[in-house]
Structure 1
């Protein structure tokens, strides 16, 4: 492997990066897409890929023969970097309902690229790999991953998986390299999607997920841009008894809740900060609820670790919202000796390093990857 094209298809954007084997970016670009943009006259994913990515691929020389995709939900089966095949793609299709904002678009991008690259490579072999946001949380204990639901439900594989694992792992590795003395870390991924991860770091600098706020789907946990986070199941039962259907619930909880639903204005924290300063009540409420649930979650993660030595903020909000960082530091001043860090998100770099490691391991053991 010399160069890899990394495709990170999110719920509201597509990030592209051309990286070397160390994960260092040679270039990167990002474009927005999604239902909200399409409703406003913006692009759907297929149109974006055709108009933006197709010319970029045509200009690359040589064309990378390795493409790595971030896939949010790997279910119980996919817990390591995986070479994509028709059988694997069929299995991943079955997981789309578990992460509808992410898995479906990722598969659309995979299928589009497969056709595009095969035509440009004129029959040459191409490998597309997937890295999964759930994989880092495969280390969760039975107590941390199990819901208190009937045994017949648990036997269907209904459990807590956790998400944002790629960036939480990156945060853990980065903090371990910066400060080898840190053993208990809370990683805060705060962006359009938000989650926390309680991380133990061993003496060799290897991070391990102990607990996390997202569960069976990325809907559980913190307040997010348009996702509700955790809601009393009884409230949902109440709404269903009133006649609200599954599809309406899905749309409301995933696309119309969170910061957007609270503020009735925007799911963008930058916009809410500006409007809150102008006295907008909805923006003020959204920030207050977001902060309250975040503090609750941090307390829970600290309890799972038996204490905490450092908290790392990552993601668009975590890296750039100075007001939130100050508010959190003040609210958690009672925690002794706490170190506050900011770590730039780098899912793409981590994915390249994971695939490079998988390729080296496979060559050593004589396994054939393609």
Structure 2
């Protein structure tokens, strides 16, 4: 029997969606609404064919407009979700705080709680809620399920999630490390174990999710024991527009010497930092192209980006004591061979060696790119957050 779940991944400037049949593993439709809020917005809707079954270009001023266009694409190119609704709608929600440690059925109380947590993920939780509200209106009576990025990291030990800050901040304001990219980590960790033909409970892994957002996670026996993102998705690795780690006193310094209030400095670090600040673009492909053309700023940006990854790999090696595999995923992690090579360069003494031919071979498959006989496997595993969300959604509904 079919069990089709509509998965909505409503991001800060885009909406990824996919209709997934969890039982048959078929993907009847998928699509992307991108560059929301810009004049050159675009929606592409695929129904299993090479060419899009529906395409629309133009401005999507808000996420609500983008979601309305998605529903129009289903009505025009199929499958017709009005005539044959999904059994459930699974929503990626970035921040669940300490309240949500598992997927939950959405009701008014859950919506209110996600809204209260919005200050912890201001780029994500508000638009995640927009997706939930539009889907509830579009599919009355269909169960809506929130799947939280933070839930996977519920296994972090106290010494990993505790900040050395005044106790009142932790107890009254909930200041602690939460971690993100949990659905991606859960999926790629299982796939890495299958690729190595070993049980996940036997493995210590370092998962590097490198996309516009980027994180490193240390997994012991399949459980998250440390992760680079913290209270919010800003901490850790250098990202497309996010700075990652900076001196905690930076905001205070900017307030004193430049009159920059906390909201403005946080916005700058979230939206105008990272590769964008260093190289003028948050797109790794553009930065690499500029670096190849001799742009010194772009070259420095790449060096800062990969050095930060290497630093975290070394730190998590120490945390784990033994590493069986390093797993690259996300848009950059899956497709940028140079980033993989540069991020792990000089780690041969730790048993980490990339094979250049394997690494540079063009492939979209799960694969090993480490040198034969290396103590630590280096794997590339394309993430599939949509599948993970769909399967968790159906499990909860049933």
Q: Structure 2 length normalisation: TM-score?
A: 0.83
| Structure number with higher relative contact order (C-alpha < 8 Å, ≥ 6 residues apart) | 1
Q: Which structure 2 segments of 5+ residues have no match?
A: 42-57, 352-374
Cα deviation for residue 137 of structure 1 reads 0.2
Corresponding pairs, count: 347
> Alignment partner for residue 192 of structure 2, among 162, 166, 175?
175
Q: In 2, Cα distance between the equivalents of 1:171 and 1:33?
A: 27
* Alignment RMSD (CA, Å): 1.8
Residues 1:132 and 2:148 aligned together:
yes
Partner residue of 2:395?
357
Q: Give the 3-state SS of the residue equivalent to 1:169 in structure 2.
A: helix
Partner residue of 1:216?
231
**Deviation string for 1:86-135 (max 9, x for gaps)?**
111011101111111111111011111221223xxxxxx21111000000
Partner residue of 2:29?
27
Q: In 1, Cα distance between the equivalents of 2:347 and 2:11?
A: 32
Q: In 1, Cα distance between the equivalents of 2:29 and 2:305?
A: 34
Higher deviation after alignment, 171-180 or 21-30? 21-30
> Alignment partner for residue 253 of structure 2, among 227, 233, 238?
238
Cα deviation for residue 251 of structure 1 reads 1.6
Cα deviation for residue 282 of structure 1 reads 1.6
Q: Which structure 1 segments of 5+ residues have no match?
A: 119-124, 202-206, 361-370
Q: In 2, Cα distance between the equivalents of 1:355 and 1:45?
A: 22
Q: In 1, Cα distance between the equivalents of 2:36 and 2:159?
A: 36
> Alignment partner for residue 129 of structure 2, among 107, 110, 113?
107
Partner residue of 2:355?
none
Residues 1:14 and 2:15 aligned together:
yes
> Alignment partner for residue 326 of structure 2, among 293, 304, 311?
311
Q: In 2, Cα distance between the equivalents of 1:185 and 1:274?
A: 31
Contact 1:226 1:254 in 2 (8 A): yes
Q: Structure 1 length normalisation: TM-score?
A: 0.89
Contact 1:16 1:28 in 2 (8 A): yes
Contact 2:209 2:216 in 1 (8 A): yes
Cα deviation for residue 325 of structure 1 reads 1.8
Cα deviation for residue 233 of structure 1 reads 1.1
Contact 1:24 1:349 in 2 (8 A): no
Q: How does 1:1-370 map to 2 (within 5 A)?
A: 2-22=3-23, 24-35=26-37, 37=38, 42-43=59-60, 44-57=62-75, 59=78, 60=80, 61-118=83-140, 125-156=141-172, 157-181=174-198, 183-201=203-221, 207-242=222-257, 243-263=259-279, 265-336=280-351, 337-360=375-398
Cα deviation for residue 250 of structure 1 reads 2.2
Contact 2:104 2:396 in 1 (8 A): no
Q: In 2, Cα distance between the equivalents of 1:10 and 1:241?
A: 34
Q: In 2, Cα distance between the equivalents of 1:299 and 1:115?
A: 48
Q: Give the 3-state SS of the residue equivalent to 1:75 in structure 2.
A: coil
Q: Cα distance 1:345–1:45, how it changes in 2: closer, same or farther (>3 A)?
A: same
Q: Give the 3-state SS of the residue equivalent to 2:383 in structure 1.
A: coil
Contact 1:309 1:339 in 2 (8 A): yes
Q: In 2, Cα distance between the equivalents of 1:153 and 1:112?
A: 35
Q: In 2, Cα distance between the equivalents of 1:39 and 1:32?
A: 9
